[in-house]
């Protein structure tokens, strides 16, 4: 998988330049250039909304394929909890975990084990007042990306724990090394994801020195391969390790509930996330001790790489949580290794200029230029809004000619000028002939 700064790729033959994704992108990262949708990588937060809305299925997430299993001597599947919610009537996680082994993985390690551990640690931290006020969960990579580029003042609020995906990969690798005696490089930890942002995270982890996730497979690829295997499992192996609270992280509110914070707030869907971050930045939120934000509607169950409707998936997660599944003990996991290696840093990619004075001047120029467009945000120019086009022009990646209204106005002005010249010339001729 080639890393290009985000996980979304375009099938140019299928893209008709309809502007639907352009209008949906919450960070104005898309432009239509030569009739095709192009993503500005520095603006993309990997929310997957453009994949979700494209009527032609021209956009898809770049993830690995099952062939990756051949690249390692020993492989461990790391299933996101969302995987359990894809199968009707599923109560026992062990059935899905056993099916993953039948698919070719040597072992499985639930990501919900890491969720359980993080929740336990956060509960303690909250109790002993070791976290910043209004601490924001760092488990959704899209939320972390939007904070680091658009809400840098909130970076100190981010929870300083590894993501469940990274933490479970570290632990799974450690256990596999102990079990097999193989070196780290020969063990492949493969995350099974409903979320394209996790693929980017594994290639470009934030706050981590390195990622322990060797590959990311989409639930939509694994699902049709698992389904026939499930039917033949009467006596599943006991492979589940986590408790119900970790499983509950798959749905919006599950992490906040597991934190046992005295006051918590949770929101899902990218617009709601942005609203909450704006309110936090404006100091309009006073009580929330723990804040859980998920970019996908309904939480991770709403990821674009999942199959099932997020509402149905949420109810299945609750069902699974309510049914006790036999589990094996987690063993000795190094719970002192749960924090990020470094703080997540501000991403200045959206700055107009590194010099504050120059940035202000550019901002004023953008506002001035924007006034000259018609304000309809029609998208015909290939930018999502008149403001975005003005910014593109000032930043040297667009031209005024792109605005069809401005072009028409220029033609009208030119025609009016020619008419005036003609009139004046006729009047002069008439005057000369008298
Ligand atoms: S939604 Fe975007 S990617 Fe899909 S066809 Fe329209 S312009 Fe192309
Ligand atoms: S993934 Fe999200 S942020 Fe990135 S281009 Fe698509 S809609 Fe925009």
Lowest mean pLDDT among 5-14, 47-56, 188-197, 389-398: 5-14
Handedness of CA 40, 41, 46, 50 (dihedral sign): positive
- 2 CA to centre of ligand 2 in angstroms: 18
In this structure, the answer to whether residues 97 and 218 fall within a common structural domain is yes
In a domain? residue 135: yes
pTM for the model stands at 0.90
CB 14 within 8 A of CB 56: yes
- Do both 87 and 225 map to the same domain? yes
Which residues are paired to 9 by β-bridges? 60
Here the tokens at position 174 are 């450690």
CB of 295 within 6 A of ligand 2: the answer is no
* Residue 414's CATH number: 1.10.15.40
Kindly report, residue by residue over 308-351, the tens digit of the pLDDT.
999 999 999 999 999 878 788 777 788 878 999 999 999 988 88
Q: Is the pLDDT of residue 99 over 90?
A: yes
Residues 214, 244 within the same domain? yes
Task: Band the pLDDT of 4: cuts 50, 70, 90.
Answer: low
Please indicate, yes or no, whether residues 147 and 243 belong to a single structural domain of this protein: yes
Residues 278 and 196 in one domain: yes
Q: What's the mean pLDDT in 219-238?
A: 95
How much is the mean pLDDT over the chain? 93
Same domain, 420 and 312: no
State pLDDT tens for residues 44-65.
999 999 999 999 999 999 999 9
Give the start-end residues of each E strand in 134-239.
135-136, 187-193, 215-218
Helix (H, G, I), strand (E, B) or coil at 223: helix
Q: Which of 138, 139, 121 is nearest to 300 (CA)?
A: 139
381 shares its domain with 401: yes
Phi and psi torsions of 120, nearest 5°: -60, -45
Digit-coded pLDDT (tens) for 123-169: 999 999 999 999 999 999 999 999 999 999 999 999 999 999 999 99
- How many Å separate Cα 199 from the centre of its chain? 9
Q: Is ligand 2 within 6 A of the CB of residue 28?
A: no
Q: How would you class 426 by CB atoms within 10 Å of its CB: exposed for 0-12, middle for 13-18, buried for 19 or more?
A: exposed
272 and 370 share one domain: no
Are 314 and 409 in the same domain? no
The 10s digit of each residue's pLDDT in 233-268 is 989 999 999 999 999 999 999 999 999 999 999 999
Q: Which domain holds residue 382?
A: 355-434
Residue 343 is assigned to a structural domain of this protein: yes
Q: Looking at ligand 2, which atom is closest to the CA of residue 30?
A: 5
Phi, psi of 30 (to 5 degrees): -110, 140
Cβ contacts of 276 within 8 Å, gap of 6 or more = 265, 267, 285, 291, 293
Closest to 381 (Cα-Cα) out of 78, 30, 73, 85 = 30
Does residue 311 sit within a domain? yes
Select from 8, 36, 37 the residue to mutate for testing ligand 1; criterion: most ligand atoms less than 8 Å from CB.
Answer: 37
Tell me if 50 CB under 6 Å of ligand 2: yes
């Amino acid at each position: 998988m080639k890393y290009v700064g985000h996980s979304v790729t375009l099938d140019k033959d299928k893209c008709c330049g309809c502007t639907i994704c352009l209008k949906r992108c919450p960070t104005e990262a898309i432009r239509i250039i030569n009739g095709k949708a192009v993503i500005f990588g520095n603006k993309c937060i990997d929310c997957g909304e453009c994949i979700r809305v494209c009527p032609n299925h021209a956009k898809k997430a770049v993830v690995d394929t099952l062939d990756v299993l051949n690249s390692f001597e020993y492989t461990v599947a790391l299933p996101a909890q969302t995987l359990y919610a894809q199968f009707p009537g599923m109560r026992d996680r062990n059935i899905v975990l056993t099916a993953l082994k039948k698919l070719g993985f040597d072992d499985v390690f639930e990501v919900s084990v890491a969720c359980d551990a993080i929740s336990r640690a956060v509960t303690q931290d909250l109790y002993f007042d070791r976290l910043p006020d209004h601490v924001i969960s760092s488990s959704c990579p899209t939320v972390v990306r939007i904070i680091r580029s658009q809400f840098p003042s909130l970076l100190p609020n981010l929870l300083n724990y590894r993501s469940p995906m990274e933490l479970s990969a570290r632990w799974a690798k450690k256990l596999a090394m102990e079990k097999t005696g193989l070196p780290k490089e020969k063990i492949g930890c493969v995350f099974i994801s409903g979320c394209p942002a996790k693929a980017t995270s594994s290639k470009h982890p934030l706050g981590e020195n390195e990622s322990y996730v060797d590959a990311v497979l989409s639930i939509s690829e694994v699902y049709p391969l698992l389904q026939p295997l499930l039917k033949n499992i009467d006596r599943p192996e006991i492979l589940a390790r986590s408790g119900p609270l970790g499983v509950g992280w798959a749905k919006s509110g599950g992490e906040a509930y597991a934190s046992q914070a005295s006051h918590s707030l949770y929101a899902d869907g990218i617009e709601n996330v942005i609203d909450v971050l704006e309110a936090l930045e404006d100091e309009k939120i006073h009580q929330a001790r723990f804040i859980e934000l998920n970019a996908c509607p309904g939480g991770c169950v709403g990821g674009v790489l999942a199959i099932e409707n997020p509402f149905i998936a949420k109810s299945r997660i609750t069902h699974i949580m309510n049914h006790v599944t036999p589990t094996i003990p987690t063993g000795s996991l190094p719970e002192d290794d749960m924090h990020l290696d470094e703080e997540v840093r501000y991403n200045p990619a959206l700055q107009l200029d590194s010099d504050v004075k120059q940035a202000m001047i550019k901002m004023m120029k953008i506002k001035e230029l924007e006034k000259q467009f018609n304000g309809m945000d029609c998208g015909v120019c290939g930018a999502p809004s008149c403001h975005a086009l003005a910014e593109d022009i000032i930043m040297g990646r667009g031209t005024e000619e792109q605005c069809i209204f401005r072009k028409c106005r220029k033609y009208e002005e030119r025609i009016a000028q020619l008419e005036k010249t003609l009139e004046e010339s006729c009047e002069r001729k008439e005057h000369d002939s008298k």
